[in-house]
Structure 1
Amino acid sequence: MVTYGDLAEMAGYPRAARLAGQTLRKLPKGTKLPWHRVINAQGRISLPEPRAARQRELLEREGVTLLNGRVELGRYRWRP
């Protein structure tokens, strides 16, 4: 699990979280990239419905639990 900001920083674009989100939105349907593992800095899903429901479903299948709509970043956040 990473945040949009984490992803931007890893790509060499610190402070470009919105750009990371815009790029993920452009992924082709059926992509194999784990887009669902990217959330906002508060640990929330930022997508509108019905895509938010799909992201929540994929995360829960992987054993990620959401508490009050949030992912516990201290537990699930990936730090390379």
Structure 2
Amino acid sequence: MSSTTRHSIYRIVRRIPRGSVLSYGDVGRIVGTGPRQVAAAMRACPVGLPWHRVVGAGGRIRTPGEYAWIQRERLMAEGIRFHGTSFSYDAYRWRTKAHSH
């Protein structure tokens, strides 16, 4: 993946407001890449990036290992309400201008 693509992904993720999320696929569509490339970029994201606001399709946490609990706790602290292992993606999805077209 090019550094330009990686920086574009990080720029979008930085803009996701507290209490909102985007899926890997949505970030990829905005940037013009696939969800796997977004996931790869998130695994190497810089400190301070709100990585926890990028989730799997349908409001599922796809982060592996102990980071899944960290992600869940951070999302809950921002007001996202879980129902079992997932949440209503549509209720918390960030409505960007890119989605309104």
**TM-score range relative to shorter protein:** 0.7 to 0.9
Provide TM-score, normalisation by structure 1.
0.88
Instruction: Tell whether the 8 Å contact from 2:58 to 2:88 is kept in structure 1 after alignment.
Output: no
Q: Give the C-alpha shift of residue 27 in structure 1.
A: 1.2
* Runs of 5+ consecutive residues of structure 1 not aligned to the other structure: none
The alignment partner of 1:9 has SS state of: helix
Q: Give the C-alpha shift of residue 65 in structure 1.
A: 1.0
Name the count of aligned residue pairs.
76
Aligned: 1:62 with 2:78 = yes
User: After TM superposition, which residue ranges in structure 1, 4 or more long, deviate above 6 angstroms?
Assistant: none
Instruction: Tell whether the 8 Å contact from 2:61 to 2:86 is kept in structure 1 after alignment.
Output: yes
Structure with greater proportional helix content: 2
* Runs of 5+ consecutive residues of structure 2 not aligned to the other structure: 1-20, 97-101
What are the within-5 Å matches in structure 2 for residues 29-68 of structure 1?
A: 31-68=47-84
Greater radius of gyration (CA): 2
Q: Give the C-alpha shift of residue 6 in structure 1.
A: 0.4
Structure with greater proportional strand content: 1
The alignment partner of 2:29 has SS state of: helix
